[in-house]
Structure 1
């Protein structure tokens, strides 16, 4: 099967560029081959990569494919404790990183020289040998960790063949020849990794890789709109991938006078639920936005709308290499299931994936999602958050007696709270929230909160018989209060930038 490196190596055109420069396909292939040989000389079996978006990330990714090394991308939005958990669980041999102090606690940790130059002060850091070999399915080439709906995220194990099957299916479905793709999401996100790098390279295209700070990201769930829009203007891509929150920003700017790049041919939107009205507003302003659906356990995208095949209100038509069925209302996917979860042998060799999403498949193959089987929140930035995890941190100090965390399809988490003592001041509650936030990664932190007017336990219709919150009922009853926590403060600083476009 043709790999992205094979496709790039045959090209004398520029195939990758970032703020540090650009490489033709042949130049990229030469550097990747050199790096792969070096990594093999160091006898690395499992390599973690902690790096900003850029050509270096691409080089390491492709070098691991060539060298037969298992790559473990470390999301920048993980907390330090989450990264350490990943490294320990995967028995990582070495890390390519510029965050050397984070790993310097063990005296056996050492920096090894790389002759292949990598920008951004990236270095190869050898780690002490693990106590045991990693428990991973045979054939694992990449272990991708999602945003971590709880404190310890699961590692999805994928083979190289599975990734390439997915990338080729996306190339065929989207149908762009030699696209100029701008990577806006972190490359540690599987969707951007496969659809944003492999697919354009397989199509003979070009991958643009600005750093996340240039794009405008601060942390994982805040963005500077002006930087983001300027990035789109500067790079003028044919294709991009957006979360619903980024699409909302782009559409709001267009409605305020900003002109989207005329180069845009395809804007894929995924990672969380997308309002149909938002997609319609995008189309009215020449933003060719199309919703898709997927999950890491299926090597990313499962279904996708395109200009040629689309259905309003759906998440798109199922990709041809996959089969989708419904069991007890839940969407089940087969055809390219993950090899299994890291260190969970009982999950290996599954014939199908239970998605946890409720919905239906139309007669002509389009998926329609109606909800989630579990209490999982998916923020409008595409981060998975288990509300019970965040609630347990808020309740840990004992200052609060009740809390409900919300944030599905919203840019950040908010909470409805009851203090243990009704005389507790707002300042004391704020301090309790701040202490909990310090124990959480940024995407799971509570940005705003409101007191419950009276405890939930005094309102039986809001709790189950065993005291569990009836989340849908709570959300309905306190909808105005919840909406007020998001009013004019979506964490984007959007109003100031929108005014700029109105007066420009």
Structure 2
């Protein structure tokens, strides 16, 4: 990152790389002087977040980015589990901890508060530079400990793979506390000398974990004309639908819209591209310091998760589980076991003869039909989403003679005949035991707000079934 290059653009002013480093140095000195060992940040996307991240790295302080969409209980769990002794946040947010000593501070000319929490040493893997907490499907997030070297390997791999695109402006559309944006949307562009457009999340239409104002988002993209974006599948789905409904196209400045966090599906990718969105699916996990594979212009296979990036190695275990190496985490908080050279992802998949990864589902989601056939529901769901009429699908069938599905259309005005045609087309690609015999139209999209998905878009299967079991004619899950 050359000192004279424009590193950040917040929509009001621009920040040279040298400006960021000077501000980070000042904050690092203040944190070191007060004895900070573990710093949590709880704030919106802004240049200050970037400065705090750099300051922690300079000072050898562990950084714990906390998503603003975490519940108070999840935040309390993360603070305690990581042994956080300092929280950097805005004064109104600091008021949530009236008992904690508060030190006023100024970062980049803006008033912030450093909250001092009781110091408590927590064992963590050697070399831990950042702890990212995954929200997952339970209330207690899991702490993934990452080294600076592992994160930089991912950033360098992305820079090398994307060099032919010559990305000069990246618009940050996800929270920086989400590892994917932190690494691929900040570290990689800044390493490459590109400018990161850093707006508040509200200015890009994102509120909480899943409330998305697509019109505001589109206006930001049109105004700032980035070359690249990173989106979650539900954001791409909403943008595609918005452009189709309003008869608009995405700005021609875009060269890459990377999509990750959950499965995308060929139908959505093709629909997005028809509207000028250069959508390319990728795959990664926090334990691998985010992205591992990515489709790219010139090396692209829609329906796959892309080929391995330069920093990543892949292999498929004998039971079909995807294993990764090359940029692994240092370990989990509270777990003394360090990962080996290869990490079992919990995902099932295969690599085709051209090196593209295909994710077939989660090991733990494997269902067994009443006829004893093992079926990964994600395999069938991918086939369903391959049809342009279907935006989201969740498949059931454990202990049932046939499979059933809950479907949410890509276009709101899709009728029953179009959905049935999509199911028929998917069934034509599948063996008889994996075909969907019954389906129901979803009562709402599968989002976190609707209570039917995690924050990153993975379906909450039990919740989906509970709402649609009667329509499908299958037993509802037992209520705990």
Give the TM interval when normalised to the shorter protein: 0.7 to 0.9
| Per-residue deviation, residues 427-447 of structure 1 (Å, max 9, x unmatched) | xxxxxxxxxxxxx99998979
Does 1:319 find its partner at 2:309? yes
- Counterpart of 1:202 in structure 2 is 191
- Counterpart of 2:13 in structure 1 is 21
2:321 aligned residue (315, 330, 335)? 330
| Per-residue deviation, residues 51-106 of structure 1 (Å, max 9, x unmatched) | 100101010011111111100000111100100000001010100012112222xx
How has the CA–CA distance of structure 1 residues 122 and 89 changed in structure 2, closer, same or farther, with 3 Å as cutoff?
A: same
- Counterpart of 1:214 in structure 2 is 203
Within 2, Cα distance between the matches of 1:365 and 1:267? Answer: 21
3-state SS of paired residue (2:144): strand
Deviation at 1:254, TM superposition (A): 2.5
Alignment of 1:94-109 (within 5 A): 94-98=86-90, 99-104=93-98, 107=99, 109=100
CA contact (8 A) 1:414 1:449 kept: no
Within 1, Cα distance between the matches of 2:156 and 2:445? Answer: 30
3-state SS of paired residue (2:223): helix
CA contact (8 A) 1:293 1:315 kept: yes
3-state SS of paired residue (2:348): strand
- Counterpart of 2:279 in structure 1 is 289
How has the CA–CA distance of structure 1 residues 186 and 340 changed in structure 2, closer, same or farther, with 3 Å as cutoff?
A: same
- Counterpart of 1:57 in structure 2 is 49
Q: Normalising by the residue count of structure 1, what TM-score does the alignment of the two structures yield?
A: 0.73
How has the CA–CA distance of structure 1 residues 303 and 451 changed in structure 2, closer, same or farther, with 3 Å as cutoff?
A: closer
The more displaced of 145-154 and 54-63 is 145-154
2:103 aligned residue (112, 119, 123)? 112
- Counterpart of 2:117 in structure 1 is 127
Alignment of 1:239-388 (within 5 A): 239-256=228-245, 257-327=247-317, 328-346=319-337, 348-375=338-365
| Per-residue deviation, residues 378-422 of structure 1 (Å, max 9, x unmatched) | 9x9xxxxxxxxxxxxxxxxxxxxxxxxx99993247689xxxxxx
1:235 aligned residue (224, 228, 233)? 224
Does 1:167 find its partner at 2:155? yes
Within 2, Cα distance between the matches of 1:37 and 1:115? Answer: 13
Within 1, Cα distance between the matches of 2:224 and 2:73? Answer: 35
CA contact (8 A) 1:177 1:204 kept: no
1:144 aligned residue (112, 132, 138)? 132
Deviation at 1:277, TM superposition (A): 1.2
| Per-residue deviation, residues 356-395 of structure 1 (Å, max 9, x unmatched) | 11110123321001111124999x9xxxxxxxxxxxxxxx
- Counterpart of 2:176 in structure 1 is 187
Deviation at 1:159, TM superposition (A): 0.4
3-state SS of paired residue (2:364): coil
Q: Which has the higher contact order (CA 8 A, sep 6+)?
A: 1
Deviation at 1:45, TM superposition (A): 0.8
Does 1:47 find its partner at 2:39? yes
Within 1, Cα distance between the matches of 2:254 and 2:471? Answer: 51
How has the CA–CA distance of structure 1 residues 190 and 295 changed in structure 2, closer, same or farther, with 3 Å as cutoff?
A: same
Deviation at 1:174, TM superposition (A): 1.5
3-state SS of paired residue (1:278): helix
Alignment of 1:397-476 (within 5 A): 410-412=446-448, 450=467, 453=470, 462=475
- Counterpart of 2:404 in structure 1 is none
Within 1, Cα distance between the matches of 2:470 and 2:302? Answer: 40
Within 2, Cα distance between the matches of 1:141 and 1:320? Answer: 22
Within 2, Cα distance between the matches of 1:273 and 1:336? Answer: 22
| Structure 1: runs of 5+ lacking an equivalent | 1-6, 381-405, 417-439, 470-504
Count of residue pairs brought into register by the alignment = 401
| Per-residue deviation, residues 200-235 of structure 1 (Å, max 9, x unmatched) | 111111011111111112221111121111111111
- Counterpart of 1:422 in structure 2 is none
3-state SS of paired residue (2:229): strand
- Counterpart of 1:401 in structure 2 is none
Deviation at 1:271, TM superposition (A): 0.6
CA contact (8 A) 1:240 1:266 kept: yes
How has the CA–CA distance of structure 1 residues 126 and 190 changed in structure 2, closer, same or farther, with 3 Å as cutoff?
A: same
- Counterpart of 1:494 in structure 2 is none
CA RMSD of aligned residues (A): 3.2
